[in-house]
Structure 1
Amino acid sequence: MDLSNIGDLIGGLGLFLLGMQMMTNGLKSAAGQSLRKALQAATKSRLRGLASGTLITALVQSSTAVTIATIGFVNAGLLNLGQSIAVIYGCNIGTTMTGWLVATIGFNFRISIFALPMIGLGMLIRLVGGDRRQAHFGTAMTGFGLFFIGLSFLKDTFIGLENAFPLQEVGTTSVGLALFMLAGFTLTVLIQSSSAAMAITLSLAAAGAIPLTAAGALVIGANLGTTSTAALSVIGATSNAKRIACAHVIFNLITGLVGLVLLMTLSGVINSSGLTDIFDMVILLALFHTLFNLLGVLLMWPLTTPMEKFLNRRFRTAEADAAKPVYLDKNILETPPLAIDAMTRELARVSRMSGTLAKEALSAEANDRSHIQAQIVCINKLITKIGSFNQKLAQQNLSEESAEILPSAMRVARYHNEIARLSGLIVMYSERFSQVTDSNTQRDIYNLKKITNKMLNATIIDDEVDLSSANSRTLLHKLEKKYQKIKQHILDAMIESRLSPKEGTDLLDSLSHIHRLAEQAEKSSRYWSSLSPIEHREPIHTEHKHSNKLSETDNEKMTEAESDAIDEVSDAGDNSSGKPPEQPRKAIAE
């Protein structure tokens, strides 16, 4: 092989990969939402997941694209892990379509007769199509033509290679097969395309440069090499992505083992029977590739459920572990007093989690959003599990007092669910807060956040502290006064053009979320006492009496010390410059 052949090899491989990329991107864009709808069909059953993965991968000629879409569906809750694993099985079957395209069209027709016209016609459709679907079909057609032009270069490059390298002899030994498998794996890792590795393998076989067994070993190696793409793509990714990638690796390893056993079993029979003289060797390789992937699916199908359970216990994040109940246990449902105690302890844990989350949201920056959202998902999952436990507990033989506790428990859980939701909304305005230039508005925002933080500290349920709602009601009254005062300041600033209408509207929305968050925290504190034994309960005040203001009697009951302490919080941001203290994030967090 001289420098000219090496240049043809590199150029042919480049044309092949470019054609594959254009064909894949064009078909994905032309299909639009159809691919998404086809993948949604996988939610019906694992069998449909297998069919969807096979058909979509065969259509777009990219198992990576389908795998990434599958990970997105799992993270969105549209697919469970078992269904996604079935899609991955289908992806492996779908990739065998490349071998059949090469074997049936690429080596049996004069490529220039149809490839070059396809490129010209495809580009014409692309140019006149604009942004319509036809333009994407034109891109795919152009890629299809380049795909076969590159294949033609690869085929011509390998002609006569058997005279330069003794590959025929090497490919018949056990060591030689291992080396060919390693070569197929390495080639796929380097070019990150099993389709290209498959095309090179088929080109070598068509040129007679390698025997059938060596070509089969290359195919197995290329199949194993696709696991590198999955492994590299999930570095730093979500737990679901890592589980799917791990399932991909496990499946391909087992499939590779099946392929090796099949190759060792059939190679002697094929060579002795002279089938290579009757059938095209390229067709036999494409058939072999499809056959051992199908056998791999048949072997792994009954093992999918055990593998799913195994993977669900792996790659767990701190958030996923936090979403697991600590106190709830179905075994104590038959003992209602113990079950109620367990549920209240779990609610207390949710209270601490939501309170901590709310305080983080109040002092968060824009880059904290992903962490906040992960915490919200965790709290929501935990509240859902508490609700399920509550329903099962309600089916037991409960006393009248115990039966009254269950609705109050769900009410408290609902308040904490709302606190988590509002925290996610508040953090979205963090950048807007930092862009406020009016010093008085800055001070008002800082003071409202600080008194809200004090409210959260007063309402977080602590197992070691006897929670009283009186202090939280007092704080809510002061916060209400501060909130109304800030609203007026912002409206005045908008009228005086110190704030733009957009800034003012955003600030009013964000401060409304903070105000509502404090209200939800106070309500959770107020109803928490109804989960205690009757002799230790505080009287529950109706919501309409305390939603906005306390009665005059409650105002009179506020001690001077309490009022001074709260006013101290409100005035903490005042200084000679009229600006809040430096490092407000740290102060609020404390």
Structure 2
Amino acid sequence: MDLSNIGDLIGGIGLFLLGMQLMTSGLKRAAGHSLRKALEAATRSRFRGLISGAAITALVQSSTAVTVATIGFVNAGLLNLGQSIAVIYGCNIGSTMTGWLVATIGFNFNISAFALPMIGIGMIMRLIGGEKRYAHLGTTLTGFGLFFVGLSFLKDTFSGLENSIPFEAISQTSYGLALFVLAGFILTVLIQSSGAAMAITLSLAASGAIPLATAGALVIGANLGTTSTAALSAIGATSNAKRIACAHVFFNLITGAAGLLLLISLSSIINGSNLTRYFDLVILLALFHTLFNVAGVLIMWPLTNPMVAFLEKRFRRGDEDLAKPRYLDNNILETPALATEAMARELSRVGQMAITLAKQALSSEVSDSAHIRSQALIVNQLIVEVGKFSQKLGQQPLSEEIAQILPSSMRVARYFNEIARLSSLIVEYSERFHQISDSNTQKDIYELKKVTNSMLDAANIDNDSYTSSDDSRKLLHQLEKKYQNIKLHVLDAMIAGRLSPDEGTDLLDSLSHVHRLGQQAEKSARYWSSLTPIEHRSPLIDKKTDRESDRKADKTDSSDNIAPPQEASSQEKAANAKEPLAVN
């Protein structure tokens, strides 16, 4: 192989990979929410998960994309671990479609007769289509054409290669097949695409450079090589992502070992027969690839429950660290719809932590102040992580809807952060509350705390069942009325001498924090619905009502010498989607 052939090889692989990338991107965008709905079908049973994984992977030609989406669904609580593993099994079967495309079309037609026109037509559709569905189909068509142009380069490059490298002699040694399995593994690791490794293997076989058994070993190695992608994606990922990656590795290792044993036992028969006289060698390899993965599913299916039980006990240390995000995973950033769901899930968790912290602060003793301050710091750290994730997500190509969700998520995160901060301040006043001798004032404090507690309960966000903020809005009206009354009573008590000036001033400060705590909880509940996609969103509250409520809350805040939150301009909202959250 001279330098010219090496250049053709590199260029062919590059065109092939570019074609697959364009095909995957175009099909994902053209399908829109259809792929999401297809994956949601996996929630009904493991068998449906298997079918969904196979069908979606065959369609988008990317098992990695489906695996990342599956991780996102698990993190969002839409799939359990057993269902997600079934989807991964299906991905391995669906990935065999690349081999069938190469075997049935790639080597049986004149590439220039149909691939080049496909590229031209596809680019015309892309240029005139804007963001319409047929424009994305044009991207797919262009990728399809480049796929086969790259394949043509590979086939031509490998012609006559058997005269330079004695593949058949190597395969007949005792370690020959294992060596080719290793070669297939390394090839897949280097180019990070089992589809491209499969195409190279089929091109070698089509050109007559390698015998059938050797090609089968390369196919097994390519299958094993996909575990590297899963392992790399699990580094620094969530516990769920690590469990799914481990399941992927287990599946490929066990089925790879079974396939290699089968191939070794049949290699002498395969190499000694004249199968190529009766069958197309490339078709046989595509069939072997499919049967090999189906056999792997049959082997692993009864072992799935024990494997799930084993994996669920692993990677718990990260989840036990409250200050570490549980649902944010960088692997799903390229799928913004799933990334926003994961962010909402994390914010739901943070919100429940903040609400719990606030309720503890309202009922706690001074001795609990250290614990509450430490928990408030954890909430702060989590919100910083949400801000960083939002910044990374903002750098992705986003739809208009998701671009609007990001500033709203930061707004809700700010409310949670303020709830945690106020909780750490309120607990400092616990002893002073108990030292107030005026019985009427004590009663007022109790009633204000009671209304605020009810507000916190109404605003507590459970991502699976929370639907409306109507209750919290009604309680806000009660809170405002109660707060204004208690301020008047405290001032009267100071004038009448029932409270000293110091007691009255401290009490007004503490009551201001309690009042603002309820306000922030109501706002977080009111804006929560804007964090979900429109098709899953409950009816939004009338914007005029929103503005009036904010105006009243801001006036009350200013009367307590607390600066009200400023409404962001449209430019600031866009900037918020690109910048991490500033935390007090």
With the shorter chain as reference, the TM-score category is 0.5 to 0.7
Match of 2:237 in 1: 237
For 1:258-407, list aligned pairs within 5 A.
258-320=258-320, 355-356=372-373, 359-360=376-377, 367=384, 369=386
* 1:157 matched to 2:157: yes
* 1:117 matched to 2:117: yes
Map Cα deviations across residues 522-553 of structure 1 (whole Å, 9 max, x no partner).
Answer: 999xxxxxxxxxxxxxxxxxx99995355679
TM-score (ref. length: structure 1): 0.64
CA contact (8 A) 1:455 1:521 kept: no
Match of 2:184 in 1: 184
Shift of the 359–160 alpha-carbon distance from structure 1 to 2, 3 Å rule, reads closer
Instruction: Structure 2 unaligned segments of length 5 or more: list them.
Output: 324-358, 391-408, 458-477, 513-560, 564-582
Match of 2:453 in 1: 520
Match of 1:484 in 2: none
CA distance, structure 1, for counterparts of residue 493 and residue 315 of structure 2? 53
Shift of the 363–569 alpha-carbon distance from structure 1 to 2, 3 Å rule, reads farther
Letter aligned with residue 69 of structure 2:
A
Match of 1:70 in 2: 70
Picking from 456, 462, 471, the partner of 2:427 is: 456
CA distance, structure 2, for counterparts of residue 231 and residue 306 of structure 1? 21
Map Cα deviations across residues 175-219 of structure 1 (whole Å, 9 max, x no partner).
Answer: 221221111111111111000000001111111111111111111
CA distance, structure 1, for counterparts of residue 85 and residue 57 of structure 2? 14
CA distance, structure 1, for counterparts of residue 159 and residue 194 of structure 2? 22
* 1:228 matched to 2:245: no
For 1:9-158, list aligned pairs within 5 A.
9-158=9-158
CA distance, structure 2, for counterparts of residue 26 and residue 362 of structure 1? 39
CA contact (8 A) 2:426 2:510 kept: no
Compute the displacement of 1:139 (Å): 1.0
> In structure 1, the residue corresponding to 2:175 is in which secondary structure?
helix
Letter aligned with residue 37 of structure 2:
K
> In structure 2, the residue corresponding to 1:237 is in which secondary structure?
coil
Shift of the 73–557 alpha-carbon distance from structure 1 to 2, 3 Å rule, reads farther
CA distance, structure 2, for counterparts of residue 123 and residue 139 of structure 1? 7
Letter aligned with residue 91 of structure 2:
C
CA distance, structure 2, for counterparts of residue 239 and residue 557 of structure 1? 57
CA contact (8 A) 2:50 2:89 kept: yes
Letter aligned with residue 125 of structure 1:
M
CA distance, structure 2, for counterparts of residue 103 and residue 300 of structure 1? 28
Moved more, 562-571 or 291-300: 562-571
Letter aligned with residue 59 of structure 1:
L
Match of 2:209 in 1: 209
> In structure 2, the residue corresponding to 1:174 is in which secondary structure?
coil
Compute the displacement of 1:568 (Å): 9.1
Shift of the 370–82 alpha-carbon distance from structure 1 to 2, 3 Å rule, reads farther
CA distance, structure 2, for counterparts of residue 454 and residue 173 of structure 1? 76
CA contact (8 A) 1:456 1:521 kept: no
Instruction: Structure 1 unaligned segments of length 5 or more: list them.
Output: 324-346, 374-422, 434-447, 460-466, 482-514, 525-542, 572-577, 581-587
CA contact (8 A) 1:88 1:248 kept: yes
Shift of the 471–287 alpha-carbon distance from structure 1 to 2, 3 Å rule, reads farther
Shift of the 362–299 alpha-carbon distance from structure 1 to 2, 3 Å rule, reads closer
Compute the displacement of 1:354 (Å): 9.4
CA distance, structure 2, for counterparts of residue 545 and residue 23 of structure 1? 57
CA distance, structure 2, for counterparts of residue 273 and residue 113 of structure 1? 35
CA distance, structure 1, for counterparts of residue 316 and residue 422 of structure 2? 36
CA distance, structure 1, for counterparts of residue 239 and residue 15 of structure 2? 36
Identity of counterpart residues, as a percentage? 60
Map Cα deviations across residues 26-70 of structure 1 (whole Å, 9 max, x no partner).
Answer: 111111111011001001000000000000000000001101111
| Structure having greater relative contact order (Cα 8 Å, sep ≥ 6) | 2
Letter aligned with residue 455 of structure 1:
I
CA distance, structure 2, for counterparts of residue 275 and residue 372 of structure 1? 55
What number of residue pairs does the alignment pair up?
A: 430
Compute the displacement of 1:173 (Å): 1.8
CA contact (8 A) 1:16 1:151 kept: yes
Letter aligned with residue 55 of structure 1:
A
CA distance, structure 1, for counterparts of residue 251 and residue 298 of structure 2? 11
Q: CA RMSD for the aligned pairs?
A: 4.4
Match of 2:474 in 1: none
Q: Highest Rg: 1 or 2?
A: 1
